[in-house]
Amino acid sequence: MDLARSELNSLLDKAARIDDGDGEPDPDSDLYHRYSLDQLSDAELEAEIERRRKARESGARTAKAAPDGAPKARPAQSTRSAPPPRRPAAPPDEVRQAYAALEVPYGSDFATVRKSYRALMRKYHPDRHTQSPDKQKTANELAQKLTLSYKLLEKKLRK
């Protein structure tokens, strides 16, 4: 319950900052004005998006072909197996949610994150809530969420 309250409070704070003009502006709002997209109807906007998508696809196809129009030769396969694909970096929304789950401000340093994680785990550890199965189940889910958030931020902040 406290976690949901803290996430709600952080969202309300962010909304208040944006309303006051102190928050981050919408990164796409300038693009709409710069390219006069705010004056297009929905149908015209959809047509423009489709035109740009087709232009990107045709550009990608021509980049794959060699200058004389023949497809590029594929490099020879190595006998060694390829390394596993790298996991993409966590999107900012996941990082923001992790900060909110640990009840620390976005952008806090690792020491603050660690301190908050330990305090919350002391408070919500499943072993401390053995009175009823419902409370223990809820505490277990919350502890897992806190641990995942902590590990995500640990990877991000210890680069």
pLDDT of residue 148: 94
Q: What radius of gyration, in Å, describes the C-alpha atoms of the chain?
A: 24
- Residue 154 DSSP class: H
The answer to whether domain 90-159 has CATH 1.10.287.110 is yes
Question: What does the alpha-carbon distance between residue 46 and residue 49 come to, in Å, rounded to a whole number?
Answer: 5
For the chain, give every domain's residue range: 26-65, 90-159
Tens-digit pLDDT profile for residues 134-144: 888 998 999 99
- Reported pTM: 0.44
Tens-digit pLDDT profile for residues 89-122: 667 789 999 999 999 999 889 999 999 999 999 9
Question: What does the alpha-carbon distance between residue 155 and residue 144 come to, in Å, rounded to a whole number?
Answer: 17
φ/ψ of 101, rounded to 5, equals: -65, -35
